[in-house]
Amino acid sequence: ANNAGGVGTISNENSGTDLKNLRVKLVLLGDSGVGKSCIVLRFVRGQFDPTSKVTVGASFLSQTLALEDSTTVKFEIWDTAGQERYAALAPLYYRGAGAAIVVYDITSSESFNKAQYWVKELQKHGSPDMIMALVGNKADLHDNRSVSSQDAQEYAERNTMFFIETSAKTADNINQLFEEIAKRLPRPTPS
Protein backbone atom coordinates (compact mmCIF):
# COMPACT_ATOMS: atom_id res chain seq x y z
CA ALA A 1 0.00 0.00 0.00
CA ASN A 2 1.16 3.50 -0.62
CA ASN A 3 1.77 5.71 2.33
CA ALA A 4 -0.38 8.74 2.67
CA GLY A 5 2.26 11.41 2.40
CA GLY A 6 3.96 10.10 -0.69
CA VAL A 7 7.22 9.88 1.22
CA GLY A 8 9.65 6.98 1.31
CA THR A 9 8.64 3.69 2.77
CA ILE A 10 11.25 1.22 3.86
CA SER A 11 10.30 -2.39 4.11
CA ASN A 12 12.27 -5.01 5.95
CA GLU A 13 10.09 -8.05 5.78
CA ASN A 14 11.19 -11.51 6.63
CA SER A 15 9.24 -13.97 4.59
CA GLY A 16 6.75 -15.74 6.82
CA THR A 17 6.81 -19.47 6.21
CA ASP A 18 4.28 -20.83 8.66
CA LEU A 19 0.58 -21.26 8.99
CA LYS A 20 -0.10 -18.63 11.58
CA ASN A 21 0.94 -15.32 10.14
CA LEU A 22 -0.60 -12.35 11.83
CA ARG A 23 -0.41 -8.76 10.73
CA VAL A 24 -0.96 -5.68 12.83
CA LYS A 25 -0.89 -1.96 12.30
CA LEU A 26 0.95 -0.34 15.18
CA VAL A 27 0.97 3.40 15.83
CA LEU A 28 3.61 5.30 17.81
CA LEU A 29 2.71 8.30 19.91
CA GLY A 30 4.62 10.56 22.25
CA ASP A 31 6.35 13.87 22.59
CA SER A 32 8.98 14.80 20.06
CA GLY A 33 12.47 13.73 21.17
CA VAL A 34 11.47 10.84 23.44
CA GLY A 35 13.04 8.31 21.08
CA LYS A 36 10.18 6.94 18.95
CA SER A 37 12.22 6.75 15.76
CA CYS A 38 15.19 5.26 17.59
CA ILE A 39 12.98 2.53 19.10
CA VAL A 40 11.65 1.61 15.67
CA LEU A 41 15.08 1.65 14.04
CA ARG A 42 16.53 -0.44 16.85
CA PHE A 43 13.75 -3.00 16.36
CA VAL A 44 13.75 -3.01 12.56
CA ARG A 45 17.43 -2.58 11.80
CA GLY A 46 19.09 -3.53 15.06
CA GLN A 47 20.88 -0.21 15.17
CA PHE A 48 20.96 2.92 17.23
CA ASP A 49 21.33 5.60 14.65
CA PRO A 50 19.74 8.89 15.64
CA THR A 51 20.93 10.57 12.45
CA SER A 52 18.96 8.47 10.01
CA LYS A 53 15.53 9.85 10.53
CA VAL A 54 13.25 8.37 7.94
CA THR A 55 9.86 9.40 9.15
CA VAL A 56 7.97 12.28 7.67
CA GLY A 57 4.23 12.47 8.02
CA ALA A 58 2.68 9.09 7.51
CA SER A 59 5.37 6.72 6.32
CA PHE A 60 5.73 3.31 7.87
CA LEU A 61 8.29 0.60 8.42
CA SER A 62 7.49 -3.04 8.72
CA GLN A 63 9.14 -5.88 10.55
CA THR A 64 8.15 -9.47 11.14
CA LEU A 65 8.69 -11.15 14.46
CA ALA A 66 8.68 -14.92 14.94
CA LEU A 67 7.26 -16.16 18.23
CA GLU A 68 8.08 -19.39 20.03
CA ASP A 69 4.73 -20.95 19.15
CA SER A 70 5.68 -20.59 15.43
CA THR A 71 3.30 -17.68 14.95
CA THR A 72 4.75 -14.78 13.02
CA VAL A 73 3.58 -11.23 13.50
CA LYS A 74 4.15 -8.62 10.87
CA PHE A 75 4.19 -5.17 12.39
CA GLU A 76 3.31 -2.25 10.18
CA ILE A 77 4.71 0.55 12.26
CA TRP A 78 3.39 4.04 11.80
CA ASP A 79 5.66 6.63 13.32
CA THR A 80 3.40 9.59 13.65
CA ALA A 81 6.07 12.22 13.27
CA GLY A 82 4.67 15.72 13.27
CA GLN A 83 1.37 14.40 14.48
CA GLU A 84 0.31 17.67 16.01
CA ARG A 85 0.90 19.58 12.83
CA TYR A 86 -1.08 16.95 10.94
CA ALA A 87 -4.07 16.80 13.26
CA ALA A 88 -6.36 16.35 10.26
CA LEU A 89 -4.63 13.04 9.55
CA ALA A 90 -5.30 11.66 13.03
CA PRO A 91 -8.26 9.49 12.02
CA LEU A 92 -6.07 7.95 9.32
CA TYR A 93 -3.39 7.03 11.84
CA TYR A 94 -5.77 5.37 14.25
CA ARG A 95 -7.93 3.60 11.69
CA GLY A 96 -7.31 -0.14 11.73
CA ALA A 97 -4.60 0.08 14.35
CA GLY A 98 -4.50 -3.06 16.48
CA ALA A 99 -1.74 -1.81 18.74
CA ALA A 100 -0.27 1.44 19.99
CA ILE A 101 2.95 2.40 21.74
CA VAL A 102 2.90 5.57 23.82
CA VAL A 103 6.44 6.67 24.59
CA TYR A 104 7.86 9.06 27.14
CA ASP A 105 11.40 9.79 28.30
CA ILE A 106 12.09 8.69 31.90
CA THR A 107 14.18 11.85 32.45
CA SER A 108 11.30 14.16 31.46
CA SER A 109 8.15 14.44 33.54
CA GLU A 110 6.80 16.78 30.89
CA SER A 111 7.01 13.96 28.36
CA PHE A 112 5.14 11.71 30.82
CA ASN A 113 2.36 14.28 31.08
CA LYS A 114 2.27 14.41 27.31
CA ALA A 115 2.04 10.63 27.16
CA GLN A 116 -1.12 10.83 29.24
CA TYR A 117 -2.57 13.22 26.69
CA TRP A 118 -1.83 10.72 23.92
CA VAL A 119 -3.44 7.91 25.90
CA LYS A 120 -6.62 9.99 26.06
CA GLU A 121 -6.45 10.59 22.32
CA LEU A 122 -6.13 6.84 21.78
CA GLN A 123 -9.10 6.16 24.02
CA LYS A 124 -11.08 8.70 22.01
CA HIS A 125 -10.09 7.69 18.47
CA GLY A 126 -8.79 4.13 18.70
CA SER A 127 -10.54 0.81 18.69
CA PRO A 128 -11.51 -0.29 22.23
CA ASP A 129 -9.69 -3.63 21.90
CA MET A 130 -6.43 -2.03 20.79
CA ILE A 131 -3.33 -3.34 22.61
CA MET A 132 -1.67 -0.37 24.29
CA ALA A 133 1.87 -0.18 25.64
CA LEU A 134 3.24 2.57 27.86
CA VAL A 135 6.98 2.84 27.24
CA GLY A 136 9.46 4.71 29.42
CA ASN A 137 12.42 5.11 27.07
CA LYS A 138 16.02 6.26 27.73
CA ALA A 139 16.24 3.88 30.69
CA ASP A 140 20.03 4.07 30.30
CA LEU A 141 19.79 7.61 31.69
CA HIS A 142 18.49 6.35 35.05
CA ASP A 143 20.80 8.73 36.95
CA ASN A 144 18.64 11.56 35.63
CA ARG A 145 15.33 9.81 36.15
CA SER A 146 12.37 12.06 36.91
CA VAL A 147 9.46 9.63 36.36
CA SER A 148 9.31 6.74 38.81
CA SER A 149 8.63 3.26 37.48
CA GLN A 150 5.94 2.83 40.09
CA ASP A 151 3.98 5.91 39.04
CA ALA A 152 4.12 4.84 35.41
CA GLN A 153 3.15 1.26 36.25
CA GLU A 154 0.14 2.43 38.24
CA TYR A 155 -0.94 4.80 35.51
CA ALA A 156 -0.63 2.00 32.94
CA GLU A 157 -2.73 -0.38 35.03
CA ARG A 158 -5.47 2.20 35.45
CA ASN A 159 -5.62 2.54 31.68
CA THR A 160 -5.39 -1.14 30.72
CA MET A 161 -1.97 -0.77 29.20
CA PHE A 162 1.15 -2.76 29.84
CA PHE A 163 4.23 -0.91 30.98
CA ILE A 164 7.87 -1.42 30.08
CA GLU A 165 11.05 0.66 30.31
CA THR A 166 13.37 0.52 27.31
CA SER A 167 16.59 1.93 25.97
CA ALA A 168 16.88 2.29 22.22
CA LYS A 169 20.51 3.18 22.87
CA THR A 170 21.50 -0.05 24.65
CA ALA A 171 18.69 -2.16 23.07
CA ASP A 172 17.43 -3.01 26.54
CA ASN A 173 13.85 -4.38 26.40
CA ILE A 174 13.25 -3.31 22.79
CA ASN A 175 12.54 -6.80 21.45
CA GLN A 176 10.64 -7.61 24.63
CA LEU A 177 8.35 -4.64 23.97
CA PHE A 178 7.34 -5.95 20.56
CA GLU A 179 7.13 -9.54 21.81
CA GLU A 180 4.75 -8.51 24.57
CA ILE A 181 2.52 -6.78 22.04
CA ALA A 182 2.66 -9.81 19.74
CA LYS A 183 1.69 -12.16 22.56
CA ARG A 184 -1.32 -10.06 23.49
CA LEU A 185 -2.76 -9.84 19.96
CA PRO A 186 -5.98 -11.74 19.46
CA ARG A 187 -5.41 -15.01 17.60
CA PRO A 188 -7.70 -15.89 14.73
CA THR A 189 -10.01 -18.74 15.64
CA PRO A 190 -9.59 -21.85 13.49
CA SER A 191 -12.46 -22.39 11.08
The 8-class DSSP code of residue 87 comes to G
Nearer to ligand GDP, 121 or 185 (CB): 121
Q: Does 167 sit near ligand GDP (CB under 6 A)?
A: yes
Assess contact for 41 and 59: CB atoms under 8 A: no
Window 11-40: contact mask with ligand GDP (x via CB under 6 A): -------------------x-xxxxxxx--
First to last CA, the chain: 28
Nearest to 142 by CA among 114, 172, 162, 116: 172
Assess contact for 146 and 108: CB atoms under 8 A: yes
Residue nearest to ligand GDP (CB): 35
Piece of 12-20, 114-122, 133-141, 177-185 that binds ligand GDP (CB under 6 A):
133-141
Q: Does 126 sit near ligand GDP (CB under 6 A)?
A: no
Nearer to ligand GDP, 72 or 167 (CB): 167
Nearer to ligand GDP, 94 or 118 (CB): 118
Assess contact for 86 and 114: CB atoms under 8 A: no
Nearest to 178 by CA among 168, 170, 188, 169: 168
Task: Give the residues lining the site for ligand GDP (CB under 6 A).
Answer: 30, 32-38, 50, 137-138, 140-141, 167-169
